[in-house]
Structure 1
Amino acid sequence: MIWVCACGAGGSKRYPSAAEASRYAVAFDREDRADLGRRAPLFGLLPLRLLRLLRRKVG
C-alpha cells in the first residue's frame, strides 16, 4: 500500500494480502472532522466535549 497525505507526507507498507491492505486503506481514508470532540484529548478539547454534551441534552 502506498499513501500520500494532504500535507505532502507519505510512505508505503507491504501487507500479506490485498484484502488486508484494503482493510487498512479504508480505515485511513476517512475524514476525521465528523469525530471531532468525540475522540478528542480529555483536557485539550474539553470545551468541545462540553458543547457536544449540551447539544445532545438540548436537542
Structure 2
Amino acid sequence: MIACRLLGHRFRFTSDGRAMLWRCQRGCGAGGVKQFSAPADAARYARAFDREDREDLGRRAPLVGLFPLRLLRAFRQARRKAG
C-alpha cells in the first residue's frame, strides 16, 4: 500500500490470551504476534502500545523541526488564559 510506504505503518495492538497481536490499520497486511508468559502482561503491553499521541504533539515536538507546532500550542494556551 502506497500510504504505508510514504507515511509508515499505523499499527493497532490487541491481546488475545497470552498473545499480543498487531496489524496495520491501513489494511496493507503488515502485522505480527508476540507471546507473553501471562495474559495480563499481553494486555498491559497492548494497551501501552495502542496509543496515538496526537494531543501531545506540540508539547513534545523537536525544537527545530516542529517549531511551528510549539508556537501554535503557545498561542492557544495564551488565548485560553486571556479569554
- Return the TM-score normalized by structure 2: 0.58
> Is 1:18 the equivalent of 2:58?
no
Gaps of 5+ in 2: 1-19
1:32 to 2:56 alignment: no
Q: CA deviation at 1:19?
A: 0.8
Give SS of 2:63's match: coil
Q: Greater relative contact order (Cα 8 A, min sep 6): structure 1 or 2? A: 2
Larger relative helix fraction: 1
Q: State the match for 1:56 in structure 2.
A: 77
Cα distance in structure 1, aligned partners of 2:60 and 2:38: 30
Query: For each residue in 1:10-29, what CA deviation from the matched residue of structure 2 results, as whole angstroms up to 9, or x when unmatched?
Result: 11112221111111111122
1:6 aligned onto 2:25? yes
Whole-angstrom CA distance in 2 between matches of 1:41 and 1:16: 37
TM value normalised by structure 1: 0.75
Structure with max Cα Rg: 2
RMSD, aligned α-carbons = 1.7
How high is the sequence identity, in percent, across the aligned residues? 61
Query: Quick check: which one's strand share is greater?
Result: 2
How many residue pairs match? The answer is 59
Q: Which amino acid aligns with 1:20?
A: D
CA distance in 1, matches of 2:44, 2:77: 32
